[in-house]
């Protein structure tokens, strides 16, 4: 990866056989780089930017450990090409101190010991960062459905559910 | 694993996307949400020579309606079907089916049109679109044509579109008064592939007699499968669950279930019967009273 001289302007047809530019804001910092088109966003964050809080589990969109926010929406970073976040705002677990309400989630996870090995924790925190409902008031069925998007291979789901239910 | 190399094309308009698809030939793939295609590319089960990323074509993200139909652009994400109140009111079946589709993060990217074109036999939305009688608008250098969503899937993971055709939007006929709909599904885990799912529509007249009734199964056959044997319901009130079960038992025994080696075909037919009965009953109740079934 090398720094690109300038990003592609908006609304222009782009074609790349080799490297392509990406110009995005990651955790509040502008990032301009040149990447292979096939580089996933998760690999770009980890290897290109050194943001290793985003974990890569399955690379098939199943496990949720690589969840990040793109323009405030939680998505799988292993299923996006880095170049697709051109012009977007990306927030990883390292940037969550700037997301309102996440401090509470972090405290609840600690209080309930909602992790064993901790591999899945960034995925859960990112998923929680964009909830548009009040987890403490949601039914258990809805919460289980919501949490089903992220896998904990230690199977520590009950403590995770307990932590989420403590949130307002 | 990492995907094989590909040429990456990012058109900025529908015209450019259609031209790119025609130029790149049959080894090109269209990238919309990518929630089915990219996992396969990461496993190198799909290695397209060129990827045409339509995510920057803003005209594909539009949605709206006219007198008769909802119009849903190819970039409308599955989660918009849940969060958009107008769309949810106009067609509650999408939001109900979404409860069974993968998970929230995948639905944030995945599109309705992509699900239709990908033609996964276990996908929920194609069955919903077939049940609703929706049509797709396909664009190619030869022009535009309307395709019935029922004729898009031709088999597991294959569709009837020409290699240079791009689905730009869907038209979903609006619900009439007195219509009820329901979607239900049985899967091994929340968000896992459907063992059997059913989308049901029921329309009743003022007297409560059936004027229209359709059930479409997901996850059972290679393509969305319309349940037969429902003609007897025409002009009658919606019968009890037991009656519906009697009516459908003979038909479901003959379902050409797809051989996916996970489940015994007899078990899958039994599940198909269960979801059909449940969805039909629920749609019938909602046709009488919108909150008639939860």
User: What is the spatial distance between Cα A90 and Cα A54, in angstroms, rounded to a whole number?
Assistant: 12
Answer whether CATH 3.10.150.10 is correct for domain B7-56: no
Q: Which helix (H) or strand (E) holds B148?
A: strand B143-148
Give per-residue pLDDT as tens, A110-151: 999 999 999 999 999 999 998 877 887 888 999 999 999 999
> What phi, psi does B287 have (nearest 5°)?
-65, -35
Last residue of a domain, one of A69, A91, A113: A91
- pLDDT category at B108 given cuts 50, 70, 90 is very high
- pLDDT category at A160 given cuts 50, 70, 90 is very high
B249 touches chain A (CB under 8 A): no
The CATH number that applies at residue A162 is: 1.10.150.120
With contact defined as beta carbons under 8 Å apart, do B24 and B10 qualify? no
Closest CA to A33 of A76, A70, A85, A78: A85
pLDDT at A6: 45
Instruction: Specify the domain boundaries for CATH 3.30.465.10 within chain B.
Output: 59-173
For the residues B99-126, what does the mean pLDDT come to? 97
Last residue of a domain, one of A61, A91, A121: A91
Residue A107 reports pLDDT greater than 60? yes
B184 touches chain A (CB under 8 A): no
Answer whether CATH 3.30.930.20 is correct for domain B179-288: no
Asked if A58 and A29 sit in the same domain, the reply is yes
Within a domain: residue A158? Answer: yes
CB pairs under 8 A between A and B: 98
3-state SS track over A9-22: CCCCCEEECCEEEE
With contact defined as beta carbons under 8 Å apart, do B12 and B53 qualify? no
Q: Which residues of A touch B14 (CB under 8 A)?
A: none
Asked if A23 and A85 sit in the same domain, the reply is yes
User: What is the spatial distance between Cα B149 and Cα B169, in angstroms, rounded to a whole number?
Assistant: 11
Residue B96 reports pLDDT greater than 50? yes
Give per-residue pLDDT as tens, B179-199: 999 999 999 999 999 999 999
Give per-residue pLDDT as tens, B65-87: 888 999 999 999 999 988 887 78
Asked if A85 and A128 sit in the same domain, the reply is no
Q: Which helix (H) or strand (E) holds A126?
A: helix A121-129
| Tally of CA atoms within 13 A in the half-sphere of A159 that contains its CB | 15
Asked if A64 and A106 sit in the same domain, the reply is no
Residue of A37, A79, A148 with shortest CB distance to B6: A37
- Give the tokens for residue A167: 């949130």
For the residues A29-53, what does the mean pLDDT come to? 96
SS3 call for B218 = strand
Residue B35 reports pLDDT greater than 60? yes
Class of domain B59-173: alpha beta
> What phi, psi does B70 have (nearest 5°)?
-90, 140
Asked if A102 and A157 sit in the same domain, the reply is yes
Q: Are the Cβ atoms of B106 and A14 closer than 8 angstroms? A: no
Within a domain: residue A62? Answer: yes
Within a domain: residue A61? Answer: yes
Residue A3 reports pLDDT greater than 50? no
Choosing among B43, B57, B78, B103, which should be mutated to test the A contact, i.e. which has the most A CBs within 10 A?
A: B103
For the residues B56-61, what does the mean pLDDT come to? 96
Pick the more confident residue, A135 or B131: B131
pLDDT at A1: 45
The mean predicted confidence, pLDDT, of chain B is 94
For the residues B201-213, what does the mean pLDDT come to? 93
pLDDT at B216: 98
Percent of chain A with pLDDT over 90: 71
Q: Are the Cβ atoms of A60 and B43 closer than 8 angstroms? A: yes
Asked if A109 and A131 sit in the same domain, the reply is yes
Q: Which residues in chain A (48-67) have CB-CB distances under 8 A to chain B? A: 59-62, 64, 67
Residue of A37, A60, A81 with shortest CB distance to B39: A60
The mean predicted confidence, pLDDT, of chain A is 89
Pick the more confident residue, B139 or B232: B139
C-alpha distance from residue A1 to each of A7, A24, B5, B256 (Å) = 14, 15, 16, 51
Instruction: Give every strand in the sheet of B28-31, ordered side by side.
Output: A14-16, B7-10, B50-53, B28-31
pLDDT at B8: 96
Residue of A15, A146, A149 with shortest CB distance to B7: A15
pLDDT at A2: 43
Q: Write out the residue range of the structural domain in which residue A79 sits.
A: 19-91
| Tally of CA atoms within 13 A in the half-sphere of B138 that contains its CB | 22
pLDDT at B294: 64
Q: How many residues does chain A have?
A: 168
The CATH number that applies at residue A69 is: 3.10.20.30
A42 touches chain B (CB under 8 A): no
Burial A98-109 (b: 16+ CB within 10 A, else e): ebeebeebbebb
Asked if A101 and A86 sit in the same domain, the reply is no
Last residue of a domain, one of A91, A122, A154: A91
User: What is the spatial distance between Cα B140 and Cα B32, in angstroms, rounded to a whole number?
Assistant: 17
Residue A168 reports pLDDT greater than 80? no
Q: Which residues of A touch B19 (CB under 8 A)?
A: none
Tally of domains within chain A: 2
pLDDT at B292: 67
| Tally of CA atoms within 13 A in the half-sphere of A66 that contains its CB | 21
Residue A101 reports pLDDT greater than 70? yes
For the residues A42-66, what does the mean pLDDT come to? 97
Q: Which residues of A touch B42 (CB under 8 A)?
A: 40, 59-60, 78-79
Q: CA of B238 to nearest chain A CA: how many angstroms apart?
A: 30
Q: Are the Cβ atoms of A13 and B10 closer than 8 angstroms? A: yes
With contact defined as beta carbons under 8 Å apart, do B184 and B209 qualify? no
With contact defined as beta carbons under 8 Å apart, do A30 and A4 qualify? no
Residue A162 reports pLDDT greater than 60? yes
Bridge-based pairing of strands A29-36 and A19-26 is antiparallel
- pLDDT category at B261 given cuts 50, 70, 90 is confident
For the residues A6-25, what does the mean pLDDT come to? 74
Residue of A11, A15, A74 with shortest CB distance to B105: A74
Percent of chain A with pLDDT over 70: 92
Residue A81 reports pLDDT greater than 80? yes
Q: Are the Cβ atoms of B104 and A149 closer than 8 angstroms? A: yes
Residue of B6, B16, B34 with shortest CB distance to A79: B34
Within a domain: residue A1? Answer: no
User: What is the spatial distance between Cα B268 and Cα B257, in angstroms, rounded to a whole number?
Assistant: 7
Within a domain: residue A107? Answer: yes
> Which spans in chain B are helix H?
14-24, 37-42, 78-83, 85-90, 92-98, 104-109, 112-118, 124-131, 241-253, 265-288
- pLDDT category at A10 given cuts 50, 70, 90 is low
């Amino acid at each position: 990866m090398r720094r690109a001289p300038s990003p592609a302007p908006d609304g222009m047809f782009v074609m790349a056989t080799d490297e392509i530019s990406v110009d995005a804001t990651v955790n509040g910092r502008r990032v301009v780089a040149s990447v292979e088109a096939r580089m996933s966003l998760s690999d770009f964050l980890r290897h290109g930017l050194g943001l290793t809080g985003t974990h890569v589990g399955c690379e098939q969109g199943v496990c949720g450990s690589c969840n990040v926010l793109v323009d405030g929406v939680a998505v799988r970073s292993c299923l996006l090409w880095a170049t697709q976040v051109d012009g977007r705002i990306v927030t990883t677990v390292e940037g969550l101190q700037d997301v309102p309400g996440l401090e509470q989630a972090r405290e609840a996870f600690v209080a309930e010991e909602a992790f064993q090995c901790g591999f899945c924790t960034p995925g859960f925190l990112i998923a929680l960062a964009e909830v548009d409902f009040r987890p403490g008031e949601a039914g258990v069925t809805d919460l289980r459905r919501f949490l089903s998007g992220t896998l904990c291979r230690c199977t520590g789901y009950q403590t995770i559910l307990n932590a989420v239910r403590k949130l307002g | 694993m990492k995907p094989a190399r590909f040429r990456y094309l990012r058109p900025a308009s529908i015209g450019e996307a259609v031209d790119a698809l025609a130029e790149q030939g049959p080894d090109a793939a269209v990238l919309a949400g990518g929630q089915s295609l990219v996992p396969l590319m990461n496993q190198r089960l799909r290695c397209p020579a060129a990827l045409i990323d339509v995510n920057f074509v803003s005209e594909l993200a539009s949605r709206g309606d006219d007198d008769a139909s909802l119009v849903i652009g190819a970039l409308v994400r599955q989660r918009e079907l849940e969060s958009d109140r107008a769309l949810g009111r106009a067609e509650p079946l999408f939001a109900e089916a979404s409860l069974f589709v993968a998970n929230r993060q995948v639905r944030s990217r995945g599109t309705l049109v992509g699900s239709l074109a990908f033609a996964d036999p276990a996908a929920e939305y194609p069955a919903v679109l077939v049940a609703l009688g929706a049509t797709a608008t396909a664009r190619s250098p030869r022009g535009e044509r309307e395709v019935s969503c029922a004729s898009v899937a031709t088999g597991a993971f294959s569709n009837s579109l020409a290699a240079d055709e791009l689905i730009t939007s869907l038209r979903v006929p609006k619900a009439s008064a007195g219509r009820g709909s329901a979607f239900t599904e049985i899967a091994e885990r929340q968000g896992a592939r459907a063992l059997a799912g059913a989308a049901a529509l029921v329309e009743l007249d003022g007297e409560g007699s059936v004027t229209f009734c359709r059930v479409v199964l997901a996850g059972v056959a290679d393509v969305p499968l319309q349940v037969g044997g429902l003609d007897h319901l025409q002009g009658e009130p919606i019968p009890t669950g037991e009656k519906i079960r009697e009516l459908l038992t003979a038909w479901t025994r003959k379902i050409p279930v797809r051989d996916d080696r996970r489940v015994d075909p007899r078990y899958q037919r039994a599940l198909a019967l269960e979801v059909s009965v449940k969805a039909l009953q629920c749609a019938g109740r909602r046709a009488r009273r919108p909150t008639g079934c939860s």
